């Protein structure tokens, strides 16, 4: 389906954004700032600031209540998936939900709070694709700072007009219905959301009901078990769709990375799983501080999502 909202131009050009209420422009507006003189801002009212945010946030929420693909979790796997999807399917509404205030998951650092990020070949092709420089060490490459990878990927993902990211928003549940294509089976048809600060207070306040986003494809990318992690995998168990979790096995880089990529798939109708959440679902090894599998798994999840959408 085509979505008219996707074809609208961006809100305003940078040049217009610098003009005052009356639209007048000055030398400073055109970018000639006299740094030795007095720096002047275009006038604005508090209400304009509030409305500028509210209008866009709630119009995005209104629009994305029906999405084509929802990605749960904006770590390295979820963001790699979002990039590939946004590039390959510019007409699809891709909505990313991230429980944390800061998207990026564990990919702001390499390992043990150190900066460098190791990526085994051939996953470095994704770094070439998004334009992140690296040092070539033969069978693997090293990005000087993991934050360069995450910030570059994030900026590219957010620049696509068909992507919306709602951070500080947790997925609290899945929408699951009888599968119209296969009687007797159930399929995932969207997610149940709440602002994360609300989710974290369900045991301190009386019922604070959630919101929903429907989508024919949901990509689970919530990482391995933790305060929030492996969310969709755990919910499949408590909903009776799988008997139990496989549980992430001990670290073995050689086994872990191909397992995650090769097992990236539609684990339940309408639900694709990628990244370290899969290790909990399937019981595969952890790989520790090497990130190539997250990129390759995310890209593969994007291809799986498009295949499911075409079905
Ligand atoms: O905040 C979480 C993180 O940013 C987010 N998330 C988790 N539960 C959520 C929920 N709703 C919305 N219910 C949620 N968001 O999901 C993101 C997961 O990112 P991650 O970096 O933890 O996972 P990943 O699979 O993208 O990357 C894993 C990186 C790892 S862990 C590891 C090891 O421990 O051995 N090795 C690697 C490479």
Mean pLDDT of 95-104: 98
222 lines ligand 1 (CB under 6 A): yes
Is the pLDDT confidence value at 5 over 60? no
> Nearest CA to 251 among 287, 223, 278, 277?
287
pLDDT digits (tens, 9 = 90+) for 11-66: 344 444 444 444 555 556 667 888 999 999 999 999 999 999 999 999 999 999 99
Mode of pairing for the β-strands spanning 217-220 and 271-273: parallel
Residue 183 confidence (pLDDT): 84
In a 10 Å sphere around its CB, with 0-12 CB exposed, 13-18 middle and 19+ buried, how is residue 115 labelled? middle
Distance, in Å, from the CA atom of 151 to the CA atom of 157, rounded to the nearest integer, reads 10
Helix residue ranges, H only, the chain: 4-7, 14-17, 46-64, 76-88, 124-130, 146-159, 196-199, 231-238, 253-263, 277-282, 292-310
Looking at residue 114, what DSSP letter applies? B
Dist CA 68 CA 162 (whole Å): 10
Q: How far is the CA of 160 from the centre of ligand 1 (A)?
A: 22
Please determine, for residue 269, whether its predicted confidence score (pLDDT) is greater than 70. yes
Q: What is the largest distance, in Å, between two alpha-carbon atoms of the chain?
A: 73
Q: What is the pLDDT of residue 25?
A: 55
CA 229–ligand 1 middle distance (angstroms):
6
Judged against a pLDDT cut of 80, whether residue 289 lies above it is answered with yes
ipTM value: 0.99
Instruction: Confirm or deny that 68 is annotated as ligand binding.
Output: no
Tell how far the Cα of 224 is from the centroid of ligand 1, in angstroms. 6
209 is in an annotated binding site: yes
Distance 118 CA to ligand 1 centre (A): 17
pLDDT higher than threshold 80 for residue 250 = yes
Handedness of CA 132, 133, 134, 136 (dihedral sign): positive
Nearest-angstrom CA–CA distance, 273 and 19: 46
Q: How far apart are CA 70 and CA 218, in angstroms?
A: 5
Contacts of 191 (CB under 8 A, 6+ apart): 70, 72, 97, 171, 173, 174, 175, 212, 213, 215, 218
Residue 273 marked as a ligand binder: no
Average pLDDT over residues 259-287: 98
Q: Which residue has the tokens 């929802």?
A: 70
Of residues 22 and 305, more confidently modeled: 305
So what's the pLDDT on residue 14? 43
- Please name the residue whose Cα sits nearest to atom 5 of ligand 1: 73
**pLDDT tens figures, 115-154:** 999 999 999 999 999 999 999 999 999 999 999 999 999 9
Instruction: Please give the model's pTM, rounded to 2 decimal places.
Output: 0.92
Whole-number Å distance between alpha carbons of 211 and 192: 6
209-235 pLDDT, tens digit each: 999 999 999 999 999 998 789 999 999
Q: Is the pLDDT of residue 1 over 50?
A: no
Judge whether residue 172 has pLDDT over 50. yes
Confidence of residue 181 (pLDDT cuts 50, 70, 90): confident
Q: What is the pLDDT of residue 27?
A: 54
Closest residue by CA, ligand 1 atom 22: 223
Chain centre distance of CA 39: 38
Backbone angles phi, psi at 46, to 5 degrees: -60, -40
Band (310; pLDDT cuts 50, 70, 90): very high
**Which among 300, 289, 260, 301 has a CA at the least distance from the CA of 140?**
289
Residue whose C-alpha is closest to residue 169's, from 101, 71, 75, 243: 101
Work out the percent of the chain whose per-residue pLDDT is above 90: 86
User: Is 254 in a helix, a strand, or coil?
Assistant: helix
Q: Is the dihedral of CA 183, 189, 194, 196 positive or negative?
A: positive
What pLDDT is stored for residue 285 in this prediction? Answer: 98
Q: Is the CB of 100 within 6 Å of ligand 1?
A: yes
| pLDDT reported for residue 133 | 98
- Looking at the chain, the whole-number percentage of residues with pLDDT higher than 70 is 90
* Mean pLDDT, residues 178-195: 93
Read out DSSP for 75-112? SHHHHHHHHHHHHH-TTS-EEEEESSSSTTTTTTSSBT
């Amino acid at each position: 389906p085509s979505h008219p909202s996707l074809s609208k131009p961006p809100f305003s050009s940078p040049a217009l954004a610098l003009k005052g209420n009356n639209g007048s422009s000055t030398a400073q507006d055109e970018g000639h700032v006299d740094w030795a003189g007095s720096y002047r801002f275009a006038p604005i009212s508090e209400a304009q600031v509030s409305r500028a945010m509210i209008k866009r946030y709630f119009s995005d929420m209104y629009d994305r209540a029906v999405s084509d693909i929802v990605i749960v979790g904006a770590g390295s796997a979820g963001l790699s998936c979002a990039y590939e999807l946004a590039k390959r399917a510019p007409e699809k509404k891709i909505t990313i939900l991230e429980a944390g205030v800061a998207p990026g998951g564990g990919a702001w650092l390499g390992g043990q709070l150190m900066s460098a990020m190791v990526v085994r070949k051939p996953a470095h092709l994704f770094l070439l694709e998004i334009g992140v420089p690296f040092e070539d060490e033969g069978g693997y490459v090293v990005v000087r700072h993991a934050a360069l990878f995450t910030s570059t990927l994030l900026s590219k993902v957010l620049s696509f007009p068909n992507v919306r990211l709602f951070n500080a928003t947790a997925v609290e549940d899945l929408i699951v219905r009888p599968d119209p294509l296969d009687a007797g089976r159930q399929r995932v048809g969207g997610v149940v959301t709440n602002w994360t600060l609300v989710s974290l207070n369900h045991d301190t306040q009386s019922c604070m009901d959630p919101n929903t986003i429907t989508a024919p494809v949901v990509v689970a990318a919530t990482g391995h078990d933790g305060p929030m992690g492996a969310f969709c995998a755990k919910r499949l168990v408590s909903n009776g769709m799988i008997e139990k979790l496989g549980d992430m096995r001990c670290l073995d880089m050689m086994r872990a990375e191909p397992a995650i990529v090769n097992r990236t798939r539609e684990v339940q109708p309408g639900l694709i799983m990628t990244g370290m959440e899969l290790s909990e679902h399937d019981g595969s090894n952890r790989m520790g501080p090497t990130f190539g599998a997250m990129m390759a798994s995310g890209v593969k999840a994007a291809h799986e999502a498009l295949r499911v959408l075409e079905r």
